[in-house]
Amino acid sequence: MNNILLSPPLAFVIIFLAAIILAVSLSALSLKPKHRENDSAKAYACGEEMDTNLMQPDYTQFFPFAFFFTILHVVALILATVPVQTLGSFAIAVIYLLGAVVAMFILFRR
């Protein structure tokens, strides 16, 4: 019966309730504006007033580099943690590295 407080679901509920109580009790101390300006909710861009949000960011150049760094970091993690003593794990690491090289060629093909 003593270990029931250590069960993960009950510990989660206790910590969750404590966080809610703490957030509600500290919200009374938060800084709130006395009155809201009419223009405070309007879009603003570098001193220009905008009626609509015309900015449409283009991520076509970002995603290949994000995948590049993700693949390389995962490959570095796998290769750094492969035990050197066993030949089978070394072979799997080499196959994984070759797969990453193929992924790089696919990612940056024209």
CB 71 within 8 A of CB 107: yes
Query: How many whole angstroms separate alpha carbon 49 and alpha carbon 42?
Result: 8
Cα separation, 86 vs 48, whole angstroms:
64
Q: Vertex 95, ends 90 and 96: CA angle to 5°?
A: 95
* Mean pLDDT, each 10-residue run in order, the chain (110 residues): 77 94 89 68 63 69 85 87 78 86 82
Contact 71, 100 (CB under 8 A): yes
The alpha helices in 1-110, defined as continuous H runs, are 8-27, 62-80, 87-107
Which pLDDT value is given to residue 37?
A: 67
User: Which amino acid is located at 70 in the chain?
Assistant: T
Question: Which pLDDT value is given to residue 109?
Answer: 79
Indicate the pTM of the whole model: 0.43
Question: Which sequence spans correspond to the domains of the chain?
Answer: 59-110
Listed residue (71, 73, 70, 76) closest to 93, CA to CA: 76
Give dist(CA 108, CA 68) in Å, integer: 9
